[in-house]
Every structure is written in structure tokens, then in C-alpha cells.
Amino acid sequence: MDLILIQTLNGLASASSLFLVASGLSIIFGVTRVVNFAHGSFYMLGAYIAWSLVSRFGSASALGFWGGVLLAALLVGLVGLLIEIALLRRIYQAPELFQLLATFGVVLMVQDVALASWGPQDLLGPRAPGLRSFVSIFGNRFPTYELFLIVLGPIVLGALWLLFNKTRWGTLVRAATLDREMVGALGVNQRLLFTSVFFLGSCLAGLGGALQLPREAVNLHMDLSIIAEAFVVVVVGGLGSVTGAYLAAVLIGVMHAFGILIFPKITLVLVFLIMAVVLIVRPHGLMGRKPSLVQQGATMREPLLSPATREIKLLGAAALAVLAIAPLLLGNYGVSLLTELVILTLFAASLHFMMGPGGLASFGHAAYFGLGAYGAALAAKWLAAPMAAGLLFAPFLAGLAGVVFGWFCVRLSGVYLAMLTLAFAQIAWSVAFQWVELTGGDNGILGVWPAPWAAGKTTYYYLALVLCTALVLALRVAIFSPFGYALRAGRDSPVRAEAIGLNVTRINWLAFIIAAIAAGIAGGLYAYFKGSVFPTYMAISKSVDALLMVLLGGVQTVSGPIVGAFAFAWLQDWLVRGIAEYWRLVLGSAIVVLVLAFPQGLVGTALRWRGRSQDDDVPAEAVR
Amino acid sequence: MLKVEGLHTYYGRAHILADVGLEVAQGEVVVLLGRNGAGKSTTLKSIIGLVPPAEGRISFRGTSIAGRQPYEIARLGLGYVPEERRIFTELTVDENLEVGRRSANGTTPVWTPDRLFVLFPNLARMRERAGSQMSGGEQQMLTIARTLMGNPACLLLDEPSEGLAPVIVEQMADTILELKREGMTVLLSEQNLRFAHAVADRALIIEKGRIRFAGTMAELMANEAVRTQYLRL
């Protein structure tokens, strides 16, 4: 009985800080329609800045501590303000995924800025003055600071409610959430409104981070760990709903606290299971509503997928010929690099298959790549399976995950889908990370070697080249098959596609599974290529790599992801070898610049220059 | 008061408006008639800046407004009432009015919720009701009231009679005439000739993005040929 009470209180305390972050994310999304990946970075910055300020002001005095915490929240708000003005303002009209990607660029940049400013070691924060003691609850000692946090959550919720319901600013913000164009036509300066909302949301994230100071050490991984949980809270609560965010934060905080008691190994999985259950019952979250059609109409039209012209086919054949004779000209390093490239190309093409024709933008595609790699590695480690069997088990495991995860994901669309795929990828990652007995945890699985006949670097290269080329071509054939047309019909107009008898959900599900299987094969090949697998194969950054490859190349052509994979691998190789330190800062800036400069991707921009613009044959009726 | 010259507007590469010109004088009610897709809504959206025109001059009370942001144009005293009503469905009637509120700029009557409830008595009975719970006619009244809260000197009304029951259409006509008596300048788009006849001083006919006829309402009513060519379905 006591234990239940104490764990409930623990859960409520963590729910409060989670709520602060998630409510900021939700408010920003509600008005600007941007899912701000950098929100976790604001949280981390809040913690770091508060640590510095409190250290300087002196943590003994109440003014020093609380003043430092509040000032940190305001400073983070200012950082958010600057990012909104410098970056987001320019990409409000860009496709959702580009916005996510640009804010992920900010995540990378902030990581290196924090590393340079505060160093790699964990920083221990001071206790809060006045709240250092414990209270006795049924004979258990419970920290007063935790009680303070429990009370703070509802207070912030109430304050936000008053702000949104009882002030003119709040009314304007709610109106802009529903129809921002109309708000502008009524004489309201939206830019100012957006900037102020972004400031508020960033302040909340900064406050959430600053208040963690007495609870946990400040470290460089706070950003991504909180953002995944905040995404879950926002999706479960309903995007744009502050009350929903609170309910979801409490639900997840409390379940988490109990999960630690019951299944300490799979606490992260538990969080995502709750999400799955809620989304089955209420697809748009506890307090969420179906997004209105007006807002969807405001986003960009999906680009047309054009079949390759004769020249491009010849170019492709020539490129393949070059790849086929390349090992004769290159040394060992070159062959290794090319092998990796060929595998990455299949990975990118598999993501493109669901993203381009399917319109299913996945932010967690690395899960299927990683599961493929683990499939091969587990088969090798536990079953002593030969390579051929491992390469079969890889797509099987990835495909199985595609069946299960996909079932949930295809019921959502747009950013909801992107956030859900990310959450599932985090489940897969946490299983690989936490289930040490099976997967070796952080140490990974070593000794995944190819069969003796394929052990030579050149032989393995040819094996990868043949398999990947065949699969990329197969995906291409599928895109221009009746299945591909049905997929695109579902993407462009789900309602009309349903009306002519297409089961859009099932078609999308199938596309999801195919993409997962293809990614799984890429992962299996990668495992045998590297000889080892690690949880990082499923990390968020790996999913972003895939997205970068597809978006770099451009979504609207089949050759786009191939070009993108090569461009990306070259860029990364150059970054890692050229500037080992602070490569994140450079990569992050590169992403931001690319999004600002090439909203169409490389191939798309090239096509535009050639005048094969997609605007050419849009009938007037379609856009009116 | 409002003058448009040589307006060209595109959606992508589709040429929607070609050389549209029109003028509305102080206190006048002018109607823009035409079939579906003729370019009526686009003309109004180009004026308020929601669809920025590619070419052309638009001046409002002596200020050039082409190429400006919608909120800047609205602040100069041009009120826009959209065709799809676009009220804020999750906000109450009072809150919808609050979003539209802007301080008066001297030359126009000062609209307050209380004065608007005299003009639209239906709304007075549902001040706390959410926009999504209202009928089409009530929503249409609210969208006009909301724009009036900005105390505009000139109203752009996009098909105010569309989709309304005949009795509500009559009320709508009375409302516009009442606004005209208050000295409001109105440019409205319409397909309903009877409604237009009841409220407008002058008429323009637009067809395939070009102005085909301009004259007084009486001239249009007398000109059977023009009406048959451009308005009959």
C-alpha cells in the first residue's frame, strides 16, 4: 500500500517536468504546425544554463537558486526566439518533413555548442534551498522538492488555461490554431503571434530542464531522451491540447514509476505500449481532434513521380557499369566505402518507397534497418546460423516489426505518423539497449562474419551490389505497377481512392511492410559487412541519416534517393575524416543550409533547372 | 475609395485573373457577378492579399496596397468576409468577435458587440455557443459581425447569400442595406442576381478572369443579352 502511494507520487513528480516540456511542444505545434525536434535541446539548454547561473549566483540562497532557474528559462526562451526568427520563419511553408529535419539540424548544433561550453562530463546540480528536507509519508521519506514538482504541474496547467482562455492573446492563439490565414485577414500580425508562441513554448522547455537540476545530473543525452518521451506525451494527449498533454504526462509518469518496480528491464517499452493502447482507442490522442481539412490544404502538393527518361536509364546503366568495374581500380578502403554506399542506397530506397509514392514519412526507419542487422546477428550468435540463413532471418524480423508497428502507423498521417514511427523506433532501440542477456546491450553482438566464400572484401562487395541493385530495381518496378498507382492515389486523395474501392489503409500497410523488409535486408547485409551490430544502428540519428539521403536526393524521383545516398555518404565521410571534432555542428549547419537552399532536394532542383518543373501541367481546376 | 487596375493573378501557372479593373466609391454597394470559377473570389482574395497578384495596382483610400500582407491591408480599414465563412469553430461567438476587434480609426462608426447584436439579433442569444454548434445562416451572420468588429471602412463580401435558406437570404439583404445606410462601402461577389439586384448600386460581370460588363444595376437588368451570355447557366 505504502509502496503504491510512494510510486504514484514519484510518477506524478516526473509527470510535472515531462508536462512542462510536452506542453511547450504542443503549443508550438498547435499554432505553427511545426514539430520542433529542437525542443529537447531547449530542455537540455535550460538545465545547463541553470547549472551555470545557480553556480554563479550561489545555490545556498533562495534568490540565487530560483532566480537562476527562472532566468535560465527566459534565456532559453530568447534562444528559441532567435531560432524562430532566423530559421523557422523561412520554412513555415515547406513540407513538414523538411521542418522536422531543419530542427534536427538545430539539435545537432546545440549538442556541440553544449559540449564546447560545458564539457562532456555529467554536471551535478545543487539541491533547492528551502526544499532540501524530506517529509514522512506512511513512514517513507519523500523529498519535499518532489512534492513541490507535483504541485507545480497543475499550477502551470491552470496558468496556461487562464492565459489561453481569458486573455486576448490566448484567444488569438487559439484562433490561429484553427485558421491562421483568416486571423491574418482580420488584421492580426501572425509573425508576431508565432514568435511569441515560440518564445513561450521554449521558456516552458527551459523551465522543465532547469527544474531537473536537483533531481538528476545534467548531461549531453538529455535532449534526445526527453524529446522521444515528449513526442509520446503529445501524441497520447492529442497534438495541440495542453490539458491532454497533462493527462498523458501523468499517465506515462505513473506507469513508468510502477514499471520500474515490475519490469525494470522494459520500462521504455511500457511507455510505448501505453501509447499504442491509447492510439488504438483514440487515434488522435486523449484530447485531440481529427485535423481539419482546411489546414491540410494549406500544405504543399505532393510532387509527381516521373518515370525515368531514356537518358536517365542510360546514365543509370553507365553508373552500374562503373560500380561493377570499380573494385578493379580501387584499394581496400575504396571497396569498403563502396560496399557501405551500396547498402545505404537500398536503405534510402526502402524509405523512399513509403515516403515518396506512399506519402508515409517515417522518422524511425532505422528500426527496420537495425532489426535486420540484429536479425542476422542474433541468428549467427544464438543459432550459429550460416550467412544465407542470417540474411533470410534479417528481413523476417524487420518485416515482422513492419507488420506490427505498421498496423498502428498507417492509421495516422503526416506529423502524427512521423512521431509514431519515431516512438516505435525508440522501442526497438530500447529493447536492443536494455535486454542485455539477448542483445549484449551497449556492447552489441560481435563476430557476425560472412560465409567463407563471401569473406573477401571484393566478393562481399559484389554480393551486396547484386542484391541491392536487384532490390532497388524491384522497388522501382513496384512503384510503376498498379500497386504503386494505388499507393499514390491513396496518398493524393484518400477519400477519392476509398470511393473507387481501394483499401487505402491496407495498401499503406503493405507498403510499410515492403519498406521494412527492404530496410531489413540492407541491415542484414550491413551486419555481415561490419561483423558486428550495436543499438546505435536503430538510433534516431540513423533514421535521420536515411531521411537526409532521401530528402537530399529529392522525394519526387526514383533516382533521388540513390543520388542522395551517395551525396550523403560522401559528405559524412568528408566530415568525419576532415573535422573529427565538432562534426555535429558542421553537419547540423549543413542540414539547415540545405533545407533553406534546396527545399526540393538535389535531383528536384536539378530537374527544376532543366525546366521539367512539376507546375507544368497542373490544371487550373485542381488548385482553385 | 477602392481602385483596382490591370490586375493579373496566377495559381501556379494557371492564369486566373487577366487585366481586372474596378472602382468602388465611398458609400457605394458594388456587386461582382459571374459563374462558378469565373474569378470572383480570386478578385477579392487578391485585393485583401490572401492571393498576392502578380501584376496590377490596387489602391485603397489613396494608399497602394498591392503586395502587402493581409494583416497590413486589413489594418488600413479593409474588411474581408470569406466565402467559406471560416469562423473559428472551437471559439464562442464572443471569442470570434474578439479576434476581429480592432480600434476604430475615426471615419467609420464604432462597432461593439452590443451594436452588432442589434444588427444580428440571432447572435445575441448564443454568445457562449461554440462556432461549430451554429447553423449555416448563423455562421454567415457571425463572419460578417466578426469582420465589422475591425471597424472597416469598406467590406469585401464573398458570396454572402451562398447556401442560405431563402428567408435568411432576405435578412442578409436587409443587413447589407442597413450597413449601406450607415455609410459602409461594400464590394460583394454574387451568383444570385435577385439578391444582387436588391442590394447593389452598380454591377460588374466577370467571366474567365476578365471583366465583361460594367454598369449600373438598372442597366444590367435592362440588358437581357448580357445576362443570358454571362450569367445564365
- Write the pLDDT tens digit of every residue in B164-214: 889 999 999 999 999 999 889 999 999 999 999 999 999 999 999 999 999
Beta bridge partner(s), residue B10: B15
What's the confidence (pLDDT) of residue A8? 86
Q: Cα dist. A215→A72, B93, B223 in Å? A: 17, 46, 82
Percent of chain A with pLDDT over 90: 40
* Boundaries of domain holding B61: 2-230
Query: In the predicted model, what is the mean pLDDT of residues B122-130?
Result: 91
Task: Quote ipTM for the complex.
Answer: 0.92
What's the confidence (pLDDT) of residue A609? 67
What's the confidence (pLDDT) of residue A297? 34
What's the confidence (pLDDT) of residue A294? 37
Compute and round to an integer the Cα radius of gyration of chain B.
17
Residue B130 DSSP symbol? B
What's the confidence (pLDDT) of residue B201? 94
Q: Which of B12, B14, B90 sits opposite A178 (nearest CB)?
A: B90
Alpha helices in A282-386 (DSSP H): 293-298, 310-329, 332-355, 366-382
What's the confidence (pLDDT) of residue A597? 81
Query: In the predicted model, what is the mean pLDDT of residues A187-197?
Result: 92
Nearest to A167 by CA among A156, A179, A159: A159
Q: Which of A168, A181, A618 sits opposite B98 (nearest CB)?
A: A168
Phi, psi (5° rounding) for residue B19? 55, 50
Q: Reduce the secondary structure of A223-273 to three states and give it as a string.
A: HHHHHHHHHHHHHHHCCCCHHHHHHHHHHHHHHHHHHHHHCHHHHHHHHHH
Residue A90 DSSP symbol? G
Asked if residue B134 has pLDDT above 70, the reply is yes
Chain mean position to CA A540: 6
Q: Which chain B residues are within 8 Å of A186, Cβ to Cβ?
A: 71, 74, 80, 99-100, 102, 146-147, 150
Q: Which chain B residues are within 8 Å of A619, Cβ to Cβ?
A: 14
CA distance A190 to A181: 8
A22, A234 contact by CB (below 8 A): yes
B2 touches A: beta carbon within 8 Å: no
Asked if residue A296 has pLDDT above 60, the reply is no
What's the confidence (pLDDT) of residue A577? 74
pTM, rounded to two decimals: 0.84
Asked if residue A9 has pLDDT above 50, the reply is yes
Compute and round to an integer the Cα radius of gyration of chain A.
25
For position B126, which CATH number holds?
3.40.50.300
Query: A171 and B102 in contact by Cβ < 8 A?
Result: no
CA distance A48 to B115: 54
CA distance between the termini of chain B: 33
Q: Which chain A residues are within 8 Å of B86, Cβ to Cβ?
A: 179, 182, 294
What's the confidence (pLDDT) of residue A306? 66
Asked if residue A414 has pLDDT above 70, the reply is yes
Residue B13 DSSP symbol? T
Residues in chain B: 233
Query: In the predicted model, what is the mean pLDDT of residues B59-67?
Result: 91
Residues in chain A: 624
Query: B71 and A185 in contact by Cβ < 8 A?
Result: yes
Phi, psi (5° rounding) for residue B21? -135, 140
What distance in Å separates residue A182's CA from the closest CA in chain B?
7
Query: In the predicted model, what is the mean pLDDT of residues A449-455?
Result: 85
Residue A305 DSSP symbol? P
**pLDDT: is A533 or A493 the higher one?**
A533
For chain B, what is the domain count? 1
Nearest to A430 by CA among A621, A183, A614, A259: A259
Buried residues in B11-31 as b, exposed as e (16+ CB within 10 A)? bbebebbbebebbbeeebbbb
Per-residue pLDDT tens for A90-140? 888 777 778 888 898 999 999 999 999 999 999 988 888 877 788 887 777
Asked if residue B97 has pLDDT above 90, the reply is yes
Residue A13 neighbours by CB under 8 Å, 6+ apart:
A146, A147, A149, A150, A253
Query: In the predicted model, what is the mean pLDDT of residues A10-35?
Result: 90
Asked if residue A329 has pLDDT above 90, the reply is no
A38, A227 contact by CB (below 8 A): no
Q: Is A439 helix (H, G, I), strand (E, B) or coil?
A: helix
Query: In the predicted model, what is the mean pLDDT of residues A58-85?
Result: 92
Q: Is B157 helix (H, G, I), strand (E, B) or coil?
A: strand
Phi, psi (5° rounding) for residue A582? 55, 30
Other Cβ atoms less than 10 A from the Cβ of A7: the count is 17
Chain mean position to CA B6: 20
Residue A548 neighbours by CB under 8 Å, 6+ apart:
A101, A564, A568, A591
* Strand segments (E) across A379-513: 445-446
Provide the pLDDT confidence category of residue A617 given band limits of 50, 70 and 90.
Answer: very low
Query: In the predicted model, what is the mean pLDDT of residues A502-528?
Result: 95
What's the confidence (pLDDT) of residue B146? 95
Per-residue pLDDT tens for A546-591? 888 888 777 777 778 888 888 888 877 777 777 767 888 888 888 8
CA distance A338 to A344: 10
E strand or H helix that includes residue B60: strand B55-60
Query: In the predicted model, what is the mean pLDDT of residues B140-169?
Result: 92
CA distance A313 to A311: 5
What's the confidence (pLDDT) of residue A417? 84
Provide the pLDDT confidence category of residue B109 given band limits of 50, 70 and 90.
Answer: low
Can you list the domains of chain A with their CATH numbers? 2-297 (no CATH), 311-578 (1.10.3470)
A585, A390 contact by CB (below 8 A): no
What's the confidence (pLDDT) of residue A590? 83
